[in-house]
Amino acid sequence: MTTKLNSLILIFLFLISQALPASAQQPPFKTKPNPWQGVDYMPGEVIIKYREDVPDNARQGLAARLGLHQMRRNARLGINRYRLPAGRRMKDFIEECRKDPNIEYVEPNYKVHLHYTPNDEWFPYQWNFDSSGTGGIHMRNAWNVNRGGNPGVVVAIVDTGIAYEDYTDVINSFRSEEYYQAPELSQTSFAPGYDFVDNDDHPNDDYGHGTHVAGTIAQNTNNFAGAAGIAFKTTLMPVKVINANGYGSSFDVADGIIWAADNGADIINLSLGSRFSSTAIRNACQYAHERGVTLVCSAGNDSRDEVGYPARYGEYCIAVGATRYDETRAFYSNWGAELDIMAPGGDLNVDQNGDGILDGVLQQSFLPEDRSTFNYYLYQGTSMSAPHVSGVAALLIAAGVATTPDEIRAALQNTAKDLGAPGWDPDTGWGLLDAEAALKYSGGSPPPVNNPPQADPGGPYTGISGQSVGFDGRDSSDPDGDPLTYLWDFGDGISGAGATPQHSYSAAGTYTVSLTVNDGQASSAAATTTAAITGANQAPSADAGGPYSGDAGESITFNASGSFDPDGTISSYAWNFGDGTGGSGVSVQHAYATAGNYTVSVTVTDNDGATDSDTATVNVADVTPPGGSVEVFTDGFENGEWNGLWTEDGQSDWQDSFIRSSEGRYSANVDGPTENGALTSVAISLAGHDNATVEFTWLIRSYLDLGEYIAFDISTDNGQSWQEMRRLSGDVDPEDAWITESVQVTGISQLQLRFRGLMNFGSEDGHVDDVHVTAW
């Protein structure tokens, strides 16, 4: 045996010498870049789950309205994988769908990455299996308890596939792809698998990661060649969800978990993950766990104080961190509340055991650019630590020590080598995996039963877009009194932590807010509330109208009806007439005492207190008649109807009325309905003058509607043409109040006056009184 082993070492050394120049001083191991790269989700892809009560035709109609193209559906989870229409922004689409009552949840089809970094080449260098020194999981002694497991135990490797068969994939008549079985997997049993990347029954590895993971679990062992696997008699099920570029989608991972659970897997190894929570993957893990499948997941390689997903779903998954040879947590390994156990993951920066080889995890695999050439590669990562746990779990089932997910978890936790603070701690979980101790586990006292915490997100909440909303989860509780950590999903694609976080929404809408709390061992079910967010108040827009003109001493009507508020109502109008006086109202009148140019301003205030101002110019003319003026016409309507001074048109809608008057008892009254019914004066002689000032008072009743009015016209060509000079409008100008008007006309030789009314109903009236014409 010694001779054969020495020869074997010489053969391996020969292989190494062919890989690097003879002058190389460092062990000749090839390095490949870390594949954790790229965007966070598959470009243009989403996962949607409709509510159960939404019929198929409504689902199809909604997808068509949104312009979605269905790529695949998982009936077990009720989820659909869609492609967005070109040019549609993911964030905008997610926000729109989260407001749709027909949709239970929507999320990007997140990218899922592998948790490893590779290097290169044998069993004497598999320190991670060692029983004598530090760092290993005591496999030599464990094999004395159970030698390699049982083919009846099935471990599904949900990964990049496995190099498990020689196979030619014919693409077309001009192209084919060749796949080869890894020599060190030639004696391994395989169950039928599935390829969710290419949608076929041949989940062959084209990246190398899944083959390396498979080797740790069940590579040929005790065969005088290569490296060893933990449970080498176990049956492997290849399930391919990661593509040749080293990443996959959350939809494919969920599909792979469901498929493995439905097709006989006892254990599912997930050496992959994401920093983003996926409801689809969480529900798939729940589905598998409820069917008695043990899920083993890598904790992640971000060197962060939070376990990645899906390992963070602690109620369903065993989260595995990575250690180095010296049994400390590897620099890259994530830690946190959901961490369960540690296993060797390696550190390719050091050679702590002094064997001349960097301390990675060694197994047979290949490089993606050459699938036909197999070698022994050193990888590091929590991707490598997870299959150690999956392999030992397979031995536990085969030996009858533990069979259910909870029993397996208890056996692993109770027998782990404590590394940090006594008992569980967030840095190293329950400690380092010990295969020998786990196989000798007889039940004993399991860890104290942990009662899961209860989340209470408070609410419902209200707020304004662009402003912070305070959330309060302090009513969450833990039956065991354990301290809690808080994870919030604010419903707009943003998450937060802490018991009382603040969050600002960018758009108005009603958002579903969820809170999950963790007591260090398990997470609560997500509890939800709502946040009703209104848009931030938009300021009103003031319009002062104008420009305006009039005569000194004459009332000028100012109108701000062109003002508006885009998201509410205007509650007040404040005028400054520019002469030290002011007024209020949408339409106001003001008379300037002296001629000149003025600037009038109006300030409007909306129902939320926002303001805006606008200005207009006012030209006020001097109307003081020169000396020698003479009154050439006057009528107060007190001497009988029209008195020979006025005539009506054919509508006969004017009358001498005592109902209202400015002075005396009577006034001229126009009574609706009337269609511009007119009252016209006789031709007025100017007694040799060529200028005139017309003064009168008038009034409109409060019944007049917008668009109804009385108007004043003049004619200087004996009634051939008329020019409107003034108007009182319903719902605009003051009503039920006498208003004095003064109109100056210059450069004329003759003058006629006319009053008109436009009213639709019999209850509507206008009045004119005290008409005076002064010539000058």
The whole-number pLDDT of residue 449 equals 60
Lowest mean pLDDT among 103-112, 299-308, 635-644: 635-644
How many C-beta atoms lie closer than 10 Å to residue 527's C-beta? 18
For the cut 70, the answer to whether the pLDDT of residue 415 exceeds it is yes
Contacts of range 197-201, beta carbons closer than 8 Å, 24 or more positions apart: 197/161, 197/240, 197/241, 197/242, 197/243, 197/248, 197/252, 198/240, 200/169
Cα-Cα-Cα-Cα dihedral sign, residues 73, 236, 270, 284:
positive
From residue 572, how far is each of 103, 413, 536, 619 by CA, in Å? 43, 71, 20, 26
CA angle 668, 670, 676 (to 5 degrees): 130
Q: What is the pLDDT of residues 360-398, one digit of tens each?
A: 888 888 998 888 998 888 899 999 999 999 999 999 999
| Mean pLDDT score, 536-559 | 91
Q: Is 503 helix (H, G, I), strand (E, B) or coil?
A: strand
The whole-number pLDDT of residue 223 equals 52
The whole-number pLDDT of residue 127 equals 66
For the cut 60, the answer to whether the pLDDT of residue 224 exceeds it is no
Q: What is the pLDDT of residues 41-69, one digit of tens each?
A: 888 999 999 999 999 999 999 999 999 99
The whole-number pLDDT of residue 6 equals 24
At 518, is the pLDDT very low, low, confident or very high (cuts 50, 70, 90)?
confident
Per the prediction, the chain carries an average pLDDT of 86
Contacts of range 541-544, beta carbons closer than 8 Å, 24 or more positions apart: 541/565, 541/566, 541/604, 541/612, 542/602, 542/603, 542/604, 542/612, 542/613, 542/614, 543/602, 543/614, 544/600, 544/601, 544/602, 544/614, 544/615, 544/616
Angstrom distance (rounded) from CA 179 to CA 482: 52
Query: 495 φ, ψ to 5°?
Result: -120, 165
Q: Which of 115, 120, 138, 159 is catalytic?
A: 159
Query: 441 φ, ψ to 5°?
Result: -70, 135
For the cut 50, the answer to whether the pLDDT of residue 33 exceeds it is no
The whole-number pLDDT of residue 124 equals 54
Closest CA to 493 of 85, 68, 95: 95
Angstrom distance (rounded) from CA 189 to CA 187: 7
* Annotation says 159 is catalytic: yes
Cβ–Cβ < 8 Å for 669, 659: yes
Site of tokens 């019914």: 677
The whole-number pLDDT of residue 462 equals 94
* Cis status, amide bond into 547, omega within 30 of 0: yes
| Mean pLDDT score, 407-433 | 91
Cα-Cα-Cα-Cα dihedral sign, residues 498, 501, 506, 509:
positive
The whole-number pLDDT of residue 703 equals 82
| Mean pLDDT score, 194-218 | 94
| Mean pLDDT score, 107-124 | 65
| Mean pLDDT score, 145-165 | 92
Q: What is the pLDDT of residues 460-490, one digit of tens each?
A: 999 998 899 999 999 999 988 888 999 999 9
Cβ–Cβ < 8 Å for 714, 752: yes
Q: What residues form DSSP beta bridges with 454?
A: 477
Q: What is the pLDDT of residues 306-321, one digit of tens each?
A: 999 999 999 999 999 9
The whole-number pLDDT of residue 146 equals 80
The whole-number pLDDT of residue 485 equals 92
Cβ–Cβ < 8 Å for 158, 241: yes
State the pairing for strand pair 630-635/587-591.
unpaired
Spacing of C-alpha 301 from chain mean position: 26
| Mean pLDDT score, 619-648 | 83
| Mean pLDDT score, 238-263 | 96
For the cut 50, the answer to whether the pLDDT of residue 272 exceeds it is yes
Greater confidence (698 vs 449) lies with 698
The whole-number pLDDT of residue 629 equals 81
For the cut 50, the answer to whether the pLDDT of residue 188 exceeds it is yes
Q: Which of 202, 209, 289, 388 is catalytic?
A: 209
The whole-number pLDDT of residue 580 equals 92
Site of tokens 């069917």: 291
Cβ–Cβ < 8 Å for 541, 565: yes
Angstrom distance (rounded) from CA 352 to CA 186: 33
From residue 773, how far is each of 301, 588, 695 by CA, in Å? 97, 26, 6
* Annotation says 715 is catalytic: no
For the cut 80, the answer to whether the pLDDT of residue 529 exceeds it is yes
For the cut 80, the answer to whether the pLDDT of residue 216 exceeds it is yes
Site of tokens 């193209």: 69
The whole-number pLDDT of residue 749 equals 84
Q: Which of 271, 277, 298, 383 is catalytic?
A: 383
For the cut 90, the answer to whether the pLDDT of residue 694 exceeds it is yes
The whole-number pLDDT of residue 184 equals 87
Closest CA to 96 of 59, 55, 48: 48
* DSSP-based helix, strand, coil % in the chain, nearest 5: 15, 35, 45
Angle in degrees, 0-180, between the axes of helices 382-399 and 405-415, rounded to the nearest 10: 110
The whole-number pLDDT of residue 356 equals 82
Q: Is 7 helix (H, G, I), strand (E, B) or coil?
A: helix
Dihedral of the alpha carbons of 90, 95, 98, 103, in degrees to the nearest 10: -40
Structure tokens at 638: 């007190």
For the cut 50, the answer to whether the pLDDT of residue 12 exceeds it is no
For the cut 80, the answer to whether the pLDDT of residue 8 exceeds it is no
Cβ–Cβ < 8 Å for 318, 297: yes
Where do the domains of the chain lie, and which CATH numbers do they carry? 114-439 (3.40.50.200), 461-534 (2.60.40.10), 548-621 (2.60.40.10), 630-775 (2.60.120.260)
Angstrom distance (rounded) from CA 608 to CA 754: 46
Structure tokens at 216: 């740790």
How many C-beta atoms lie closer than 10 Å to residue 336's C-beta? 23
Kindly give, in sequence order, each residue whose CB lies less than 8 Å from that of residue 373, ignoring residues fewer than 6 positions away.
366, 367
Spacing of C-alpha 158 from chain mean position: 29
The whole-number pLDDT of residue 143 equals 76
| Mean pLDDT score, 146-154 | 88
Greater confidence (82 vs 537) lies with 82
633: DSSP letter: E
State the pairing for strand pair 235-240/189-190.
parallel
| Mean pLDDT score, 131-141 | 67
Angstrom distance (rounded) from CA 384 to CA 135: 14
CA angle 63, 64, 66 (to 5 degrees): 65
The whole-number pLDDT of residue 133 equals 58
Q: Would you list the DSSP string of 574-594?
A: EEE-SSS-EEESSEEEEE-SS
The whole-number pLDDT of residue 7 equals 21
* Annotation says 305 is catalytic: no
Cβ–Cβ < 8 Å for 407, 438: no
Lowest mean pLDDT among 112-126, 145-159, 750-764: 112-126
